Chain A
Amino acid sequence: MVAQSRPILEGSHSAASSMKIKLKVWRQKGPDADGKLVDYTLNDVSPDMSFLEMLDVLNESLIRTGQDPVDFDSDCREGICGSCGIMINGKAHGPLAGTTTCQLHMRTFRSGDEIVVEPWRAEAFPVVRDLVIDRSAFDRIIVAGGFISVNTGAAPDANAVLVPKQNADMAMDAAACIACGACVAQCKNASAALFVGAKVSHLALLPQGNPERSRRAIRMVQQMDAEGFGSCSNEGECEAVCPKGISISNIARMNREFTKASFGGTR
């Protein structure tokens, strides 16, 4: 099973005309402050800008006119770090399937469009400021999963541990999760089941992850519940907005792992 391939998009690179974009951006000074949508208009947006570059341009103009820039998280801007995550017109990471906010380009929109920009909204992801949310609940789930046993010292021979190709592919697909939190943001229950499913699956499918397999499944699921994420009701919005195309079959695998571990007792 290879990761579901996502469409190559039509539409061509355009050196062309600039666009006018109206934005409604969520502004919130701090975790406990009231927030509101504020209107901004940008008159000179290049279709070749990424969505975050467009926000950079907005921020430069805000700083120049003595206003507070819009805070948002980003790091690699190559779609692999998981830092950027914005609700764009009500959809996590915006309208394109399989695409993080940083890889979304303005040519996807039309001149004159109004775009509503909001942070992820979930109890377990409190807003820090503007579009920045605190995703450390995810970190605590990973920490709860703990270590895996690895031999350090002399390097083992290549292929000393055999892994079936199919399992390697499935583990790789699960490992593609960048922990951006789009799954939580889109879910009406704010469930983190897809994220945890991906992380539990990734190691459960590989021999390297086996010694701590039961303990990991139990602890990660318990931590997920403790953080205040909602339950999974199998609607599949998570899979639909996941920029890495993580399949909800990983949720089923997490449930199997958890159930098996519960009967087997934790180690």
Chain B
Amino acid sequence: MSESLRNNGRIWVPKNKGDRRPPNAIPEAERDYYLERKYPSFGNLVPRDVASRNAKEVCDDGRGVGDSGLSVYLDFRDDITRLGRDVIEARYGNLFEMYNRITGEDPYAQPMRIYPAVHYTMGGLWVDYQLQSSVPGLFVLGEANFSDHGANRLGASALMQGLADGYFVAPYTVPDYIASTRFTDAPVNHPAFNEAATRVDDNLKHLLGVKGKTTPREFHRRLGHLMWDYVGMARNEVGLKKVLSEIPALRDEFWRDVSVPGSNDYMNQSLEYAGRVADYLEFAEVMALDALERAESCGGHFREESQTPEGEALRDDENFAHVAAWEFTGVGTAPVLHREKLDFENVHPSQRSYK
């Protein structure tokens, strides 16, 4: 669900582990509004990395709710009483309806159950100040590039970056590139075209030719679990090293045992999906490697080894005030790290506190 809901909802879990009573039957004194308790000045409006980690912590502590125990309550009761249902409906009607369709529960009458999930990621393709990638003429706009999101994503980030890049940067830099570049014809019999076409064709035939026993979705699920467990809301060196051996092993297994039905002479959705999973199996590795290399905690990247005595993210600007740009050198070979130093002239990074 959208994070905007936290503007009017209060997050809580039962104080006691294993309290299975329905939420409205749990008296006020037995509820733990843990964000309000720990962060009195920001309360439920702490940034998303802090809110996410705290939800994980209370669930790991055995106080999560719902069948899976992997959720916390987001309760609108007080603001519905204070502002009226109409106001809440005007603000979030579409989200409440979406929640209702998914769960079959009425969020106006009982709290929502929420848990952090992978949404977008920080980072993206490297670009220069013109938003041009390392491939000449390939401009990357919006959240596909790395440029605007640092340690945390900003609210409504997809719109913000799309508008900023689209209105204020690309209208100048793309025409400049076109006006100042000499183009030659690139017909379909160009050697580069043939090479690319052959490579894609070989790749498709390879995927179809494995004829293994495991579906692409099964591999996707297993990769997802690896990433969730070891490259999720909290990471540590041991886990990251472990996953860095498991991802290549899973990738090898994929190419030995994937089962892709059909052929490549029609729109084959299974083949398309298998191709995506193959990409994820490569990309997952660089994400884990980047997380291992950055031994500090930094926004959404929480390294368990780097925390304050109170369990908050501890940054290390001495060693990590840089963008890590990884140069692809081929599947299964180590990418090359390029550090781009971050300079702060006016506002200097400091330890965050929401107490």
Residues of A within 8 A of B (CB): 2-3, 5-6, 8-15, 29-30, 48, 50, 56, 59-60, 62-64, 66-69, 71, 78-79, 96, 98-99, 103-105, 107, 128-129, 132, 150, 152-153, 155
Q: Which of B100-108, B184-192, B195-203 lies at the binding interface?
A: B100-108
The residues of A that contact B218 with a CB separation of less than 8 Å are 60
Known: A105-B101, A105-B102, A132-B269. 7 other contacts (CB 8 A): A13-B105, A67-B261, A71-B267, A71-B269, A150-B167, A152-B167, A153-B168
Q: Helix, strand, loop or mixed for chain B's interface? A: helix
The residues of B that contact A71 with a CB separation of less than 8 Å are 267, 269
Roughly how many angstroms separate A136 CA and B218 CA in the complex, as a whole number? 32
The residues of B that contact A3 with a CB separation of less than 8 Å are 93
Q: Does B312 contact A (CB under 8 A)?
A: no
* Contact in complex: A5, B89 (CB < 8 Å): yes
The residues of B that contact A150 with a CB separation of less than 8 Å are 167
Residues of B within 8 A of A (CB): 67, 89-90, 93, 96-98, 100-108, 167-168, 171, 213, 215, 217-218, 259, 261-262, 266-267, 269-270
The residues of B that contact A128 with a CB separation of less than 8 Å are 267
* Contact in complex: B215, A8 (CB < 8 Å): no
The residues of B that contact A132 with a CB separation of less than 8 Å are 267, 269
Roughly how many angstroms separate A103 CA and B213 CA in the complex, as a whole number? 31
23 A-B residue pairs with CB within 8 Å: A5-B89, A8-B97, A8-B107, A9-B100, A30-B266, A59-B270, A60-B217, A60-B218, A64-B215, A64-B259, A67-B261, A68-B261, A71-B267, A98-B97, A103-B102, A104-B101, A105-B101, A105-B102, A128-B267, A129-B266, A132-B269, A152-B168, A153-B168
The residues of B that contact A64 with a CB separation of less than 8 Å are 213, 215, 259
The residues of A that contact B266 with a CB separation of less than 8 Å are 29-30, 129
* Contact in complex: A63, B215 (CB < 8 Å): yes
The residues of A that contact B101 with a CB separation of less than 8 Å are 9, 79, 96, 99, 103-105
Contacts known (A64-B215, A71-B267, A152-B171); A79 close to B98, Cβ less than 8 A: yes
The residues of B that contact A56 with a CB separation of less than 8 Å are 217
* Contact in complex: B89, A103 (CB < 8 Å): no
Roughly how many angstroms separate A9 CA and B98 CA in the complex, as a whole number? 11
Contacts known (A71-B267, A129-B267); A5 close to B93, Cβ less than 8 A: yes
Kindly report which residue of chain A lies nearest to residue B67, judged by CB atoms.
A15
* Contact in complex: B96, A63 (CB < 8 Å): no
Roughly how many angstroms separate A29 CA and B96 CA in the complex, as a whole number? 39
Which 8 pairs across A and B sit closest by C-beta, in order of nearness? A103-B101, A15-B67, A152-B171, A13-B104, A71-B269, A8-B106, A63-B215, A8-B100
The residues of B that contact A30 with a CB separation of less than 8 Å are 266
Kindly report which residue of chain B lies nearest to residue A150, judged by CB atoms.
B167
Task: Give the shortest distance, in Å, between A257 (CB) and chain B (any CB).
Answer: 27
Task: Give the shortest distance, in Å, between B275 (CB) and chain A (any CB).
Answer: 15
The residues of A that contact B98 with a CB separation of less than 8 Å are 78-79, 103
Roughly how many angstroms separate A64 CA and B269 CA in the complex, as a whole number? 16
The residues of A that contact B267 with a CB separation of less than 8 Å are 71, 128-129, 132
The residues of B that contact A13 with a CB separation of less than 8 Å are 103-105
The residues of B that contact A48 with a CB separation of less than 8 Å are 103-104
Roughly how many angstroms separate A50 CA and B103 CA in the complex, as a whole number? 10
The residues of A that contact B90 with a CB separation of less than 8 Å are 2
A60 in complex: contacting residue of B67, B167, B215, B269, CB < 8 Å? B215
Roughly how many angstroms separate A48 CA and B105 CA in the complex, as a whole number? 11
* Contact in complex: A6, B261 (CB < 8 Å): no
Roughly how many angstroms separate A129 CA and B217 CA in the complex, as a whole number? 21
The residues of B that contact A99 with a CB separation of less than 8 Å are 101
Task: Give the shortest distance, in Å, between A84 (CB) and chain B (any CB).
Answer: 13
A11 in complex: contacting residue of B96, B97, B104, CB < 8 Å? B104
Task: Give the shortest distance, in Å, between A139 (CB) and chain B (any CB).
Answer: 17
Task: Give the shortest distance, in Å, between A46 (CB) and chain B (any CB).
Answer: 11
Roughly how many angstroms separate A153 CA and B103 CA in the complex, as a whole number? 45
Roughly how many angstroms separate A9 CA and B100 CA in the complex, as a whole number? 7
Contacts known (A60-B215, A63-B261, A152-B167); A69 close to B270, Cβ less than 8 A: yes
The residues of A that contact B261 with a CB separation of less than 8 Å are 62-63, 66-69
The residues of B that contact A60 with a CB separation of less than 8 Å are 215, 217-218
Task: Give the shortest distance, in Å, between B119 (CB) and chain A (any CB).
Answer: 11
Kindly report which residue of chain A lies nearest to residue B96, judged by CB atoms.
A8
Kindly report which residue of chain B lies nearest to residue A151, judged by CB atoms.
B167
The residues of A that contact B102 with a CB separation of less than 8 Å are 50, 103, 105
The residues of A that contact B168 with a CB separation of less than 8 Å are 152-153, 155
Task: Give the shortest distance, in Å, between B293 (CB) and chain A (any CB).
Answer: 32
Kindly report which residue of chain B lies nearest to residue A107, judged by CB atoms.
B104
Kindly report which residue of chain B lies nearest to residue A14, judged by CB atoms.
B104
Task: Give the shortest distance, in Å, between B347 (CB) and chain A (any CB).
Answer: 21
Kindly report which residue of chain A lies nearest to residue B109, judged by CB atoms.
A8
Roughly how many angstroms separate A113 CA and B313 CA in the complex, as a whole number? 52
The residues of B that contact A29 with a CB separation of less than 8 Å are 266
The residues of B that contact A129 with a CB separation of less than 8 Å are 266-267
Roughly how many angstroms separate A104 CA and B102 CA in the complex, as a whole number? 8
A63 in complex: contacting residue of B67, B93, B97, B270, CB < 8 Å? B270
The residues of A that contact B103 with a CB separation of less than 8 Å are 13, 48
Task: Give the shortest distance, in Å, between A166 (CB) and chain B (any CB).
Answer: 14
